[in-house]
Amino acid sequence: MAVRTILHYPDPRLREKARPVAEVTPAIKQLVEDMAETMYAAPGVGLAATQIGEPHRIFVIDIASDDEPSQLRVFINPEIVARDGELVWEEGCLSFPGVTEDIDRAAKVRVRALDAEGKPFELDCEELLAVAVQHELDHLDGVLMIDRMGALKKRIVDRKMRRREASRSATR
Ligand code: NI
């Protein structure tokens, strides 16, 4: 297992549309393990494969709080098959360090996916889990939280991130 480098906005690889996983091979299982390890090391509540430069339709989520046992959820080839209601949640993203913003999402979603063994499942999600599923699924389509911000906030975050990434590469 290995902790992988998380890409930061505006890295163009975050805009890649991920490909469906044809088969859950040992290589895919290894990727899932690396993603989980990378998410826990960050730490974060979710990570999409595109965030580590692997354009496969996979994300991992663990919304357990610090005082709860961890509960890793793996979603391969996920799709939202039903959505209901609206909610606003203050979201963050490992690809936008230090940025949080209120984002509009569906309040409830039903997601269909394959688990880490390639077995199909459906899951009804609400609150943070629903938000995380929608956020991570966006990543697989190359859609980022900044795309869902208002025009002014979008400009501020874009400038802040570009400045941050420029100074990071200058000191590397
Ligand atoms: Ni994200």
Instruction: Tell me which of 26 and 168 has the higher pLDDT.
Output: 26
Query: Which of 16, 117, 136, 165 is labelled catalytic?
Result: 136
Q: Quick check: is 136 catalytic?
A: yes
| pLDDT over 70 at 162, yes or no | yes
| pLDDT over 70 at 57, yes or no | yes
Type of residue numbered 126: E
Q: Which helix (H) or strand (E) holds 121?
A: strand 120-126
* Burial class (CB within 10 angstroms; exposed 0-12, middle 13-18, buried 19+) of 36: buried
Tell how far the Cα of 170 is from the centroid of ligand 1, in angstroms.
24
Classify 128 as helix, strand or coil. Answer: helix
For the chain, domain boundaries: 12-170
Tell how far the Cα of 24 is from the centroid of ligand 1, in angstroms.
23
Q: Domain 12-170 - what CATH class?
A: alpha beta
Q: pLDDT digits over 71-81, tens only? A: 999 999 999 99
| pLDDT over 90 at 168, yes or no | no
pLDDT range class, residue 172, cuts 50, 70, 90: low
Tell how far the Cα of 42 is from the centroid of ligand 1, in angstroms.
12
Q: pLDDT digits over 81-122, tens only? A: 999 999 999 999 999 999 999 999 999 999 999 999 999 999
